[in-house]
Amino acid sequence: MADPNKGIHQYHAGVADGLQFHSPAVVGALEFDHNEVPPLDAAVLLIRSLPWIRGTVVTAAALVALLLASATAGAQARHPVSGRAIAQVMGYEGAAWLERPERESEERPSKAIKALDIKPGQVVADVGAGSGYYTVRLAERVGPTGRVFATDIQPEMLSLLRSRVSRARLDNVELVLSADADPRLPEGLFDLVLMVDVYHELARPQEVLRKLRASLKPDGRLVLVEFRKENAWVPIREEHKMSVKEARMELEAEGYRFDRVIGVLPWQHILVFRR
């Protein structure tokens, strides 16, 4: 089975690349938790054991400073309502994991699409669409009289998505380059706004939720598909999971009404909210 954390593990690659590390031992040493800055003495011991970088001696003090600066910059923020650690965004380099052949057998996205009960002619937003795995399936559901707006904050993801939409010959999909605090969607237009394994990564969730609520029709739905934090055996890193309690706390604080949990998926829950 493919590693479900591929593309989600967050390493200090910027420091490693900038210093031209090539040893797996060195890169592995940089995999400390973003929630904790490594103790100075531990970092010094690490650097003393690895004095050579492509033939250049780097002082322990300089490397320690770079490691600590990277750790501080990458520290996770927390949601002010639930206290949940906000996960870092999966980069476009992890797009292959989204498209892995075993995704259907592991996550049952076809069941998720069916459970959403999407009607022909509806207008749907796929927020944080990534490479478009769900986008094309949503476009097929709404049909030629409906529309799908697919958003992402990474231009590289939108480029992958554009190619996929073109290959599928879909003309009912609109691509939107969104921002951290603004999905850039029209107001009052959407029957459904969907986020699949996305909400927990929003850097500014409260602002995004307010914008999304304005984009919904009066009877519109906001649906989150998230890996279940309630089940420790679900094979994904903890910060990439959400509990029903956390989701309700955060969304109800922004005026959403909790509708229901749809529990048809093996690893995720489908959380339905109303405007």
> Would you give per-residue pLDDT tens digits along the chain (275 residues)?
444 444 443 322 332 333 232 233 322 333 333 344 344 333 333 333 344 334 434 444 444 444 444 444 446 699 999 999 999 998 999 999 999 999 999 999 999 999 999 999 999 999 999 999 999 999 999 999 999 999 999 999 999 999 999 999 999 999 999 999 999 999 999 999 999 999 999 999 999 999 999 999 999 999 999 999 999 999 999 999 999 999 999 999 999 999 999 999 999 999 999 99
**CATH number of 92-274, picked from 3.40.50.2300, 3.40.50.10330, 3.40.50.150, 3.30.200.20:** 3.40.50.150
The domain ranges of the chain are 13-73, 92-274
DSSP state of 32: -
**Which pLDDT does position 16 carry in this prediction?**
31
**Which pLDDT does position 75 carry in this prediction?**
60
pTM higher than 0.85: no
d(CA 108, CA 264): 9
29, 21 Cβ separation under 8 angstroms: no
DSSP state of 256: P
DSSP state of 145: T
Work out the number of other CB atoms within 10 angstroms of the CB of residue 204: 14
Task: With CA atoms as reference, report the closest residue to 30 among 64, 77, 78.
Answer: 64
